[in-house]
Structures are given as structure tokens and as C-alpha cells.
Chain A
Amino acid sequence: MRRPGVLASTWVLFRKDLLLEWRSRARINALVFFSLATLLLFSFALGPDTALLRRGAGGYLWLALLLSSVLALGESFRVERENSSLEGLRLVPVDTRAIFLAKGIANALLLAALGLLLVPVLVALLDVRIVLPWERLLTIIGLGCLAIAAPGTLYGAIASHARARDVLLPLLLFPILIPALVAAAKGTALVFEGDPMGQLPSWIALLGGFDIIYWGLGVVLFPRVIEE
């Protein structure tokens, strides 16, 4: 029979990654509690000034997502290290771009679900109001999570070969993500506080541009990264 192309292989691997996430629900629970604890710690650290907490809510959301992403990304490659499954995929052979796309999209989806879960917590905890339409917030969360997932998946693959992988991943990832983090936090803050100057489209465009660049780079570089 004819072997599947990149998109069909991506679909097969994406479903496999989601199934693995579902089977390891204890890890998802840990991720949720970690992100909730991070949000709580921010609010405790800044004290009872609710106006200050509300102003920083967009930033806290994205910092919680960023810190959680390190756990999620590391975990997504741990299952591939067990029994050398990633090597097994290479030897099938699977188009390595499909491995990147499947894992990247699955990571983005997991982070986006986490982001959506954290928004009501922000509303309850920090008395945040969502001033602009919900679709804007969904767009920012979607684009922001794609922005974390693309370089995160690429660097997760690099770090998975290293002994100090848990330290290496954030060291590689965080500096790269600064523009995306700023755009996502600013955009989210505008959704929470209103956008009288019409700045939101610019931040969304910046996030979109970041996504295009890093997903493109990931597709090109990932095959080189996972070959010896």
C-alpha cells in the first residue's frame, strides 16, 4: 500500500500524542495544579492591592502558562525517550516534519486548554473583567500557545538528548519567547482593560508573525535536530 504523506502522518501522530496525554492524566492534573499554584503565588507576592493585581493579570496568565509549558514540553519528549520511540518513528520511516507538527500542535492544544482553564480563575481571584469580546481573548490564547509550542517543541527535542535537560529547556526557550510573551501579555491586558487606542491588532499581528516564523523554522530545522 502507499505510505501516507506528511499531513496524514501528522494526523496519525497527533492522535497518538493526544491518546498518550489522556492515558497519563495524572501528569495533566499535576500541570493544572502547578499553573494554579503559580497564579496564587503571584497574587500573594504582590499583596492585597487589587488594582495592581488586575493591571498585571495578563502577565500573570502568560507567566503561569510559560512556566507550565516547560513541564508539558519536557514530558512530551520523555514518552518518546522511553524505549527510544522517537528513533522507532525515524526508522519506520516517518517524515520528521510530521513528528514536529503533531507534537507541536498537541502541545499547543494542551497549553490552550490550560489557558482557558486559568481565565475563570483570574476572574475569580483577581476580580478581572473581560471588556473586549471573548473571541479576541481566544485568538490571543490560541496564537500565544502556538508561539510557545513551536520553539518549545524544537528545543524540547534538542534538550531531550542532554543530561541536564530540565535546566537546558528553559535556558534555550525563555529568551526566544520574550517577544511572544510581551505581545500575548499586552494583548490579554487590553482584552481585560479595554483598548481605546486600538493597539490590539498590532499585538495579534506580532504574535501571528512570530508563529509563522517559528513554525516555519521548526518544520525546516526539526529533521536536522532529531537526526544524529
Chain B
Amino acid sequence: MELAPAFQLHEVSKRFGARWALVRLSLTVPRGAAVLLTGHNGSGKTTLLRILATAVRPSSGRVDVLGLDAAREPDTVRAQVGLLSHAHYVYEDLSGLENMVVLTRLLGEPRATAATGMERLGLDPRDDRPVRTYSAGMRRRLALARLFLKQPAVALLDEPFVELDPTGVSELEARIRELRAAGTTLVLATHHIEQGLQLCTDRLHLDQGRSIAA
């Protein structure tokens, strides 16, 4: 039996007040694809990623993720999708390890995976400082460690290279290639197009909420 595509968007629009962030967007992304999402600031990239992650609902249209209707089964979709957002989803007064341990327990994963996940992103799990004292790059690494801990079937990365130092960028590129090798569907939104093209096979360009040929 043929597997459902990773995403199918049917005439999806999203409005914030009077402004349309996405306008009747339709697209299909097969499983295992790596899509580079480009566009100017405010073109709708982040909104599209947040709709795919079920963080926000579209104003109209239908979104299917891995063959599931995202509006009807959001939790089933969420269990298989990982979003790296501009917000890092971490608690400032907890240490990096404490943040990761909360997530491992909620995912039902062994506690040891929290420390391993941090080490893979170049963070020291014995560092017991609260996240409030982390640098921007360390916060980004912690957010990435959270994402990879989930082992998502679909990874949505919104500007993943921002705030990372050159070493962090290289390590992240290696992790992204590992994800791709494992068959994870990837959508990567970035302004660093050359870098993105090295990691992705397809490209989707958004302009004022509409898809245009790249």
C-alpha cells in the first residue's frame, strides 16, 4: 500500500487581523523529502511551519500530515512532528538538563537520553546553571536537542542556523544529514539559501503568502 505524503495542503489560508499571512496555498510534499522554504521577511514561512506543526490553525483550507487530518487529530500529528521555532520552548529558571529531563519523562523516554541528547549538541549536561544565563547560541542548541530527542518523522526547522557559531552550524548540518538518512521529512526555512540548498532537494518560495516558482 502506498504511504500518504508527508504533507498535503489544500487551499490553506491564514489571516491575522486584516493581514493575510498565507493565501490559498496548496502543495504536496512526499515522505522523506527535504524542502528548502525561502521568502522575504513576512512572506509566510513561519506561519506555514506553525500550521504544519499544528501550533496554529489555518483560517480556511485543509492540512493533512502523514495522512492525518491535522484539525481532527492534532495530538497524533504532534507526536510525529518536531518544530524548531523562534521561541525555544524552555524554562528559564531550570537548567538545561532539567528542561531535557522534563521532556524525556513526558515522551516516556529513559532519563539518560536527556544527557546524551545534550552532549550530541555540544552542551554539558553537568552545567547546572539556569537557562536564563545561557548565551543565545546555547539556547539554540538546547532547543535543537529538544527537537532531536523527540525523533520526529517530520522536522520543521525555522531559521536553525541563526545564533549558532561556525562549529554549531557544522554540527547541525551533520545532524540534519543524519535525519535525512533516517528518512525524516525535512522542511527548512532560512535566508541562507546556498547553505539550505546543500541540505535540501526541493525548494518552495513564498511571496506574500503565495507559493511561486523558485
A12 touches B89 (CB 8 A): no
A3 touches B108 (CB 8 A): yes
Alpha-carbon gap, A4 to B81, bound state (A): 18
Alpha-carbon gap, A3 to B81, bound state (A): 15
Query: What's the least CB distance linking B90 to chain A, in Å?
Result: 5
The count of A-to-B residue pairs whose CB atoms sit within 8 angstroms is 81
B106 touches A94 (CB 8 A): yes
Which secondary structure dominates where chain A touches chain B? helix
Q: With A1-B109, A1-B110, A4-B108 given, is the CB distance from A23 to B93 under 8 Å? A: yes
Q: With A23-B130, A84-B85, A87-B55 given, is the CB distance from A92 to B90 under 8 Å? A: no
Most interface-central of A23, A24, A79, A92 (chain B CB within 10 A): A92
**Residue B97 interfacial (CB < 8 Å):** no
Query: What's the least CB distance linking B66 to chain A, in Å?
Result: 14
B102 touches A12 (CB 8 A): yes
A135 partner residues in chain B, CB cutoff 8 A: none
B89 touches A88 (CB 8 A): yes
Alpha-carbon gap, A90 to B107, bound state (A): 12
Q: B140-152 interface mask toward A, CB cutoff 8 Å, 1 = contact, 0 = none? A: 0000001000100
A228 partner residues in chain B, CB cutoff 8 A: 56-57
B102 partner residues in chain A, CB cutoff 8 A: 12-13, 16
B89 touches A85 (CB 8 A): yes
B94 touches A83 (CB 8 A): no
B53 partner residues in chain A, CB cutoff 8 A: 91
**Residue B15 interfacial (CB < 8 Å):** no
Most interface-central of B83, B91, B108, B110 (chain A CB within 10 A): B91
Q: Kindly identify which residue among A3, A19, A83, A91 contacts B90, using a CB–CB cutoff of 8 Å.
A: A83
**Residue A2 interfacial (CB < 8 Å):** yes
**Residue A93 interfacial (CB < 8 Å):** yes
**Residue B75 interfacial (CB < 8 Å):** yes
A1-24 residues with Cβ-Cβ distance < 8 A to B are 1-4, 9, 12-13, 16, 19-20, 23-24
**Residue A49 interfacial (CB < 8 Å):** no
Q: B77-121 interface mask toward A, CB cutoff 8 Å, 1 = contact, 0 = none? A: 011010101011111111000100011011111100000000000
Which secondary structure dominates where chain B touches chain A? loop
B106 touches A20 (CB 8 A): no
B89 partner residues in chain A, CB cutoff 8 A: 83-85, 87-89, 91
B106 touches A87 (CB 8 A): no
Give the number of residues in A that approach B within 8 Å (Cβ atoms): 28
A93 partner residues in chain B, CB cutoff 8 A: 74-75, 78-79
Alpha-carbon gap, A90 to B78, bound state (A): 8
A91 touches B110 (CB 8 A): no
Q: With A23-B93, A83-B90 given, is the CB distance from A91 to B78 under 8 Å? A: yes
Alpha-carbon gap, A92 to B53, bound state (A): 10
Alpha-carbon gap, A24 to B78, bound state (A): 31
Q: A148-181 interface mask toward B, CB cutoff 8 Å, 1 = contact, 0 = none? A: 0000000000000000000000000000000000
B78 partner residues in chain A, CB cutoff 8 A: 90-93
A90 partner residues in chain B, CB cutoff 8 A: 55, 78
A85 touches B91 (CB 8 A): yes
A79 touches B93 (CB 8 A): yes
Alpha-carbon gap, A89 to B55, bound state (A): 11
A-B contact pairs, 22 of them (CB 8 A): A1-B110, A3-B79, A3-B106, A16-B102, A19-B98, A23-B93, A23-B94, A79-B93, A83-B88, A84-B89, A85-B91, A87-B55, A87-B85, A87-B87, A90-B55, A91-B54, A91-B55, A91-B78, A91-B81, A91-B83, A91-B89, A94-B106
